[in-house]
Amino acid sequence: MKGMKLLTRMARSFVAGDNVDDALKQVQKLKDKGIMVTLDILGEAVEDKPMCDKAVQDYLDLLKKLAEVKSEAHISLKLTQMGLAIDDEYCTQNMVKIIGLAKKSGRFVRIDMEGSDVTQRTLDIFYRLRQQFDNAGIVVQAYLHRTEQDVRDINALKAKVRLCKGAYKEPKEVAIKKMKAIRVNFIKLAEMLFRKGVYPAIATHDSKLIKWTKAYTAENKIKNSDWEFQFLYGIRNKTQRKLAEEGYRVRTYVPFGTHWIPYFYRRLRERKENVFFLTKNFFKR
């Protein structure tokens, strides 16, 4: 029990709170600093239909709330939270409800990318949804060998892409393992998105990639209004603020809700110092 309390306090640095009101407070603070947001209700790998129905309803309620408070926030979600583990058609219809309601208030919906076991099905559902909606975008992961071809296909559809390195544990047959090589691929994919894509989102906390993006967009005279940087809530806050002050468009991914364990675990895994840092700080309090 004590251990759970400790973890909950540690998770607070990456999660904006348990409910939408907690999250909206953080959204306002970010807005005051000139930072935009995409909101994520935590949840994934849901195999139980009533739980999926509840997650869908939670997103519909979130969209209504955002319209009420006149927030321009985007939303992000995972297809395994929307029924991908149950049935593709059920999942697609859940997404139609959510993207359809988002469209009514001119809001953008980003489909997060999960493990390589569901990459193709996630893309297939996204391609289906794109035939009906233009307010949906997707994520691609620079560590996957397949991503170059996926970016070509997505660019051909003129769909919006968030480019990230990738956060799941993948075998070497499907994913690049060395950080240096992932960075090289990230840059190659970013160039493809800047040249032939639509409004790319460069989602990384990596200083080298941020520096490269700033230099590339300046050299190629790409306007700041044609793309954005994206960060995760609670990570490199000063950099987020500084980039916004410098005139770049910055959007923070703000997760909230009670199902934070898998998300939190991925954040810890990305940086082992987190475990030491957070534990040390917890005991200092």
109-142: b or e for each residue (b if 16 or more CB lie within 10 Å)? bbbbbbbbebbeebbebbeebbeebebbbbbbbb
The answer to whether 165 contacts ligand FDA (rule: CB under 6 A) is yes
The answer to whether 237 contacts ligand FDA (rule: CB under 6 A) is no
Give whichever of 29 and 64 is closer to ligand FDA, judged by the CB atom: 29
Sole binder of ligand FDA in the list 108, 126, 168, 212 (CB under 6 A): 168
Sole binder of ligand FDA in the list 97, 187, 206, 222 (CB under 6 A): 206
Name which of 251, 223, 233, 204 is nearest 71 in CA terms: 251
Q: Site for ligand FDA (CB under 6 A): how many residues?
A: 23
Give whichever of 2 and 172 is closer to ligand FDA, judged by the CB atom: 172
Structure tokens belonging to residue 73: 């926030």
- Work out the number of other CB atoms within 10 angstroms of the CB of residue 234: 19
- Considering only the stretches 3-11, 90-98, 116-124, 228-236, report the one whose residues sit in contact with ligand FDA under the rule CB under 6 A: 228-236
Sole binder of ligand FDA in the list 74, 130, 160, 205 (CB under 6 A): 205
The answer to whether 253 contacts ligand FDA (rule: CB under 6 A) is yes
The answer to whether 235 contacts ligand FDA (rule: CB under 6 A) is yes
- Work out the number of other CB atoms within 10 angstroms of the CB of residue 190: 24
Sole binder of ligand FDA in the list 15, 159, 232, 250 (CB under 6 A): 232
The H or E element spanning position 89 is helix 88-104
Residues designated as active site: 112, 162
C-alpha torsion angle, residues 231, 233, 235, 236 (rounded to 10): 60
Give 175's DSSP letter: B
Structure tokens belonging to residue 273: 């110092």
The answer to whether 267 contacts ligand FDA (rule: CB under 6 A) is yes
Q: How far is the CB of 41 from ligand FDA (least distance, A)?
A: 14
Task: Report how far apart the first and last C-alpha atoms of the chain are (Å, whole number).
Answer: 19
- Considering only the stretches 49-57, 90-98, 192-200, 230-238, report the one whose residues sit in contact with ligand FDA under the rule CB under 6 A: 230-238
Contact 136/114 with Cβ under 8 angstroms? no
* Sites for ligand FDA among residues 79-118 (CB under 6 A): 112-113
Name the closest residue to ligand FDA (Cβ): 205
The answer to whether 270 contacts ligand FDA (rule: CB under 6 A) is yes
Distance separating alpha carbons of residues 41 and 256, to the nearest angstrom: 5
Residues lying near ligand FDA in the complex (CB under 6 A) are found at: 112-113, 139, 141, 164-168, 203-206, 230-232, 235-236, 253, 267, 270-271, 274
